[in-house]
């Protein structure tokens, strides 16, 4: 595996790559969720490039940029084990040199609600870094997890709007046996908080039951029941519950087809998100 740390080296290495290039952008501290994306890329592409970059531009003031978990040596060992061809580990200084002032912003309803409302600037930071990484790596396919449902849709929108010749591949959420969606931020949870965090995936199971088994059709009613459940859950501070159109992420009123249920909450010092597509 080649470890590339500068932008010029990445361009040089890319120019010599042949065949389909699959790219998995990550912020490191890899878990089974990331590994599932890498394995999918490995199965579908001749060359696999993975980036490890904790992107300061997608963290707001007071968020966890400084303490975001990092373990480069462990990440590189895992990538080596997955037979990754290139690990791209750029520096903040090179990605955002002094004077950096160009941003990529997806606008409109897709970006305004949910994470867009709760974390101002976050999605802009994601779109900007992903476009920069796409330019440097020039992949044919790029792999993203469905846990970050809004991020995935923002990146699809950007890729289409800016005519990038890249196929965006969505990969299913990987969960712990008790349902907790894998996230690098789970490391912030104490054992008690880890128990409390199960409420998020349980609220999605409740949505599934209300819609599929009880036949509830009024989105407001389902939303209210989930809010009630999460507000009563010990150790959980609810941010939002949304029943959204799976493509536009606009809030639905009546449930007449597939609906994406999204939840966000704080548990201890971790802000967690989860979602489920209810057919
Ligand atoms: O999902 C993530 O880990 C990040 O948002 C991404 C896509 C690597 C951009 O920094």
Tell which CATH architecture fits domain 2-171: 3-Layer(aba) Sandwich (3.40)
CA 212–ligand 1 middle distance (angstroms): 32
Q: Which of 34, 122, 135, 140 is the catalytic position? A: 34
Do domains 2-171 and 184-274 share one topology? The answer is no
In this structure, the residue with its CA closest to atom 9 of ligand 1 is: 126
The pLDDT confidence band at residue 137, using thresholds 50, 70 and 90, is very high
Is 135 one of the annotated active-site residues of the chain?
Answer: no
pLDDT cut 70: percent of the chain above it: 100
pLDDT at 112 (0 to 100): 96
pLDDT at 267 (0 to 100): 98
The pLDDT confidence band at residue 274, using thresholds 50, 70 and 90, is very high
The pLDDT confidence band at residue 130, using thresholds 50, 70 and 90, is very high
CA 26–ligand 1 middle distance (angstroms): 5
pLDDT at 64 (0 to 100): 97
CA 218–ligand 1 middle distance (angstroms): 34
Residue to mutate (ligand 1; options 58, 75, 185; most atoms within 8 A of CB)? 58
Binding pocket residue ranges, ligand 1, CB within 6 Å: 25-27, 55, 58, 126, 129-130, 148, 151
3-state secondary structure of 107: coil
- The residue extents of the domains of the chain are 2-171, 184-274
Long-range pairs, 2-8, Cβ under 8 A, ≥24: 2/85, 2/86, 2/87, 3/76, 3/86, 3/87, 3/89, 4/86, 4/87, 4/88, 4/89, 5/89, 5/90, 5/91, 6/90, 6/91, 6/94, 7/90, 7/94, 7/95, 7/136
Cα–Cα distance, 206 to 89 (Å, whole number): 41
pTM for this model (two decimals): 0.97
Atom number, ligand 1, closest to the C-alpha of residue 51? 8
Atom number, ligand 1, closest to the C-alpha of residue 130? 9
Atom number, ligand 1, closest to the C-alpha of residue 25? 8
- State the Rg of the chain over Cα: 19
Atom number, ligand 1, closest to the C-alpha of residue 155? 7
pLDDT at 221 (0 to 100): 98
pLDDT cut 90: percent of the chain above it: 100
Q: What is the mean pLDDT of residues 188-217?
A: 98
Using one digit for the tens of pLDDT, what is the confidence trace for 46-101?
999 999 999 999 999 999 999 999 999 999 999 999 999 999 999 999 999 999 99
In this structure, the residue with its CA closest to atom 3 of ligand 1 is: 26
CA 40–ligand 1 middle distance (angstroms): 17
Using one digit for the tens of pLDDT, what is the confidence trace for 21-45?
999 999 999 999 999 999 999 999 9
Residue to mutate (ligand 1; options 23, 26, 115; most atoms within 8 A of CB)? 26
User: In the CATH hierarchy, which fold is given to the domain comprising 184-274?
Assistant: 3.30.1300
What kind and span of H or E run contains 37? helix 32-44
pLDDT at 58 (0 to 100): 98
């Amino acid at each position: 595996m080649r470890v590339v740390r500068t932008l010029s080296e990445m361009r040089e290495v890319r120019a010599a790559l042949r065949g389909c290039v699959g790219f998995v952008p990550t912020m490191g501290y890899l878990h089974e969720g990331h590994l599932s994306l890498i394995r999918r890329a490995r199965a579908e592409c001749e060359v696999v490039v993975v980036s490890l970059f904790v992107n300061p531009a997608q963290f707001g003031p007071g968020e966890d940029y400084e303490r975001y978990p990092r373990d480069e040596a462990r990440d590189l060992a895992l990538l080596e084990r997955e037979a990754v061809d290139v690990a791209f580990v750029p520096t903040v200084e090179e990605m955002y040199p002094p004077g950096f002032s160009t941003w990529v912003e997806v606008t409109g309803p897709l970006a305004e609600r949910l994470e867009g409302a709760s974390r101002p600037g976050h999605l802009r930071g994601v779109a900007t870094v992903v476009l920069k990484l796409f330019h440097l790596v020039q992949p044919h396919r790029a792999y993203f997890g469905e846990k970050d449902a809004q991020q995935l849709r923002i990146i699809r929108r950007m890729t289409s709007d800016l005519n990038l010749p890249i196929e965006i591949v969505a990969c299913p959420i990987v969960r712990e046996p008790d349902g907790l969606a894998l996230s690098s931020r789970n490391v912030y949870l104490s054992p008690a908080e880890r128990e409390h965090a199960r409420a998020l995936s349980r609220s999605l199971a409740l949505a599934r039951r209300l819609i599929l088994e009880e036949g509830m059709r009024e989105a407001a009613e389902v939303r209210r029941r989930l809010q009630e459940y999460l507000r009563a859950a010990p150790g959980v501070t609810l941010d939002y519950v949304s029943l959204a159109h799976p493509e536009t992420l606009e809030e639905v009123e009546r449930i007449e087809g597939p609906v994406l249920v999204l939840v966000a909450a704080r548990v201890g010092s971790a802000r967690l998100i989860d979602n489920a597509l209810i057919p």
